[in-house]
Each structure stands twice: as C-alpha cells, then as structure tokens.
Amino acid sequence: MRTILIAGNWKMNMGPKETAEFFTQLDDAAQKNIEGVEAAVCPPFVSLSAAFSARKSGSAVKIGAQNVHFEDNGAFTGEISTAMLNVLGCDFVILGHSERREYFGEDDAVVNKKVKKALADGITPIVCVGEVLSERKEDRHFEVVKEQAAGSLDGLSADELTKIVIAYEPVWAIGTGETASPEQAQEMHAFIREQLAALFNEDAASTVRILYGGSMKPDNADELLKQPDVDGGLIGGASLKPADFSQLVAIAAGQK
C-alpha cells in the first residue's frame, strides 16, 4: 500500500519567527510516527533553518523546500542548490508548481532537469501538474496533464519514478476555495497512473504516490483521501494553521 503524504506548501508565507511558532503549536499527535502516513511542510528557503531548529526531537514531520536549481553551484543569482538543501537535511522539494510555471516561466524541460538533479542528490521531488480553467472548459485537461507528466518525467527510469511524488493540482482550484470534486480528482489521478504505466511500467505506476492539491482543508480532505488513487494532499492555505494541519494529518491517519 502507498503511504499517505500530507505535505504543506507554505508558498511565500511564514518567516523564521512564524515557522518556529508553527512547530511549537503543532499537536504532538500530528508529529508522531503514524503507520501509513507521512507529514511534511515546505517553508520558504529563509525559514528552513528555523524549521529544523524548532522541530521537536523525535518529531516525524519532514521538511522540504519549494524549489531548487538544477546546477551544482555557480553564477545563478537568487538560486539555491540541492547541496544546500542537503546540508540542512531537506527530505522533499516541490518542483513545477503552477505558480512557478506561470510567474517564473518554468516549463516541462526545466522541471525535468530539476527532477533529475533532486533525484541524483537524494531529495524526493514532488512534481506538480495540473490544467488551468480554460483547458478544463475546453475539455483538454487530460491532454494537458499527460503532456506535463511526460515532459517533466522524461528520461527517468521506472525505478526513479517510484522515488518521486506527483501532485495533481488543478490551477482553478488553487487558493480559490473551489475544490475538484472527489470524482474529478479520482478520475484524473487514475488517468495519470494509467499514463505512467504506459510510459514506465505497471509496478512503478502503482507504487508512485499521487497527491491532490487545490483548496484541500479539514472539511473536504476525508472524501478526497478516500479515493483509491488519491495518496495524500499538497496543501497551501490550510497548512499554515497548526490546528488545520494537525487535523489533516489526523484525517489521513483515519483512512487506515
């Protein structure tokens, strides 16, 4: 069975002080090692150190970054390397989020380089895909997501596929309060898994975790997580509140 992953994407929120407070306020129950459930938060770069310092010893909550560069080092002003994330001990890195695609010009080719770099350096990439509203309205959502997945994962081996996490985030559901229905999420997750089986193999496709992202919160998480191909959530807004994040972890634990 696939371990459920509840991952918080804090985006450009939570400086070092708020990050430390978050860990102080997080329920002990959410930090326990729960069989079948993994929890993680991805603060901004400048708050990563604070997260590692504030996380209680023995806490099972993992810590990730929201982006990384694909080169080792050099003249890339404003960028961060996998080696830097590894010094801190980051477990995850979110790659190809729709906000990076939209505002920072990242395309599948760039995301692909980053995925390969993260894998080579032992950081688990959370690779995001998802259509915008006009693409869904034109009934092109499957085609768009298929192309993003194929492009972002190009050249990976089946074994490498099992080491990544995919997040399906319909852009129209991000930060809008509008969630994909559990049926819409399941339909797309199953489609993604089918594509991965064709691109790689059945075994690898059934091992890889596919998270849902887009206005997931304690109110709707249970129904979404109940879907057979939904293996967790990539959560923005609701992950900023320790109580909501704790509740999401508890809901995930209840799925077992």
In the complex with ligand 13P, the residue whose CB is nearer, 93 or 234, is: 234
Could you tell me if 49 and 80 are in contact, meaning their C-beta atoms sit under 8 angstroms apart? Answer: no
Q: Can you tell me which of 5, 118, 235, 249 binds ligand 13P, judged by CB under 6 A?
A: 235
- DSSP label at 169? -
Separation of alpha carbons 70 and 118, rounded Å: 8
Q: Can you tell me which of 118, 153, 216, 248 binds ligand 13P, judged by CB under 6 A?
A: 216
* Interacting span for ligand 13P (CB under 6 A) from 82-90, 115-123, 169-177, 247-255: 169-177
When asked if residue 171 is in the footprint of ligand 13P (CB under 6 A), the reply is no
When asked if residue 237 is in the footprint of ligand 13P (CB under 6 A), the reply is yes
Separation of alpha carbons 113 and 103, rounded Å: 19
Total residues binding ligand 13P (CB under 6 A)? 14
When asked if residue 236 is in the footprint of ligand 13P (CB under 6 A), the reply is yes
Rounded to a whole number of angstroms, the CA Rg of the chain reads 17
Separation of alpha carbons 218 and 248, rounded Å: 6
In the complex with ligand 13P, the residue whose CB is nearer, 184 or 204, is: 184
- DSSP label at 2? P
Angle formed at CA 145 by CA 142 and CA 149, multiple of 5 degrees = 135
Active site residue 169: yes
When asked if residue 174 is in the footprint of ligand 13P (CB under 6 A), the reply is yes
Q: At what angle do helices 16-25 and 242-253 cross, to 10 degrees?
A: 50
When asked if residue 170 is in the footprint of ligand 13P (CB under 6 A), the reply is no
Q: Beta 124-129 vs 92-95: how paired, if at all?
A: parallel
When asked if residue 9 is in the footprint of ligand 13P (CB under 6 A), the reply is yes
Query: Which residue number is nearest to ligand 13P in terms of Cβ?
Result: 236
Dihedral, CA of residue 34, residue 38, residue 44 and residue 45, to nearest 10: 100
Active site residue 187: no
When asked if residue 101 is in the footprint of ligand 13P (CB under 6 A), the reply is no
Q: Which of 68, 119, 236, 232 is nearest to 166 (CA)?
A: 232
58: left (phi over 0), alpha (psi -120 to 50) or beta: left
Please tell me which residue in 106, 141, 169, 189 is annotated as part of the active site: 169
Q: Can you tell me which of 55, 62, 69, 97 binds ligand 13P, judged by CB under 6 A?
A: 97
When asked if residue 204 is in the footprint of ligand 13P (CB under 6 A), the reply is no
Instruction: Please state, as a whole number, how many other Cβ atoms lie within 10 Å of the Cβ of residue 57.
Output: 4
The least CB distance from residue 215 to ligand 13P, in Å, is: 4
In the complex with ligand 13P, the residue whose CB is nearer, 119 or 126, is: 126
- Catalytic annotation, residues: 97, 169
Query: Contact residues for ligand 13P (CB under 6 A)?
Result: 9, 97, 169, 174-175, 213-216, 234-238
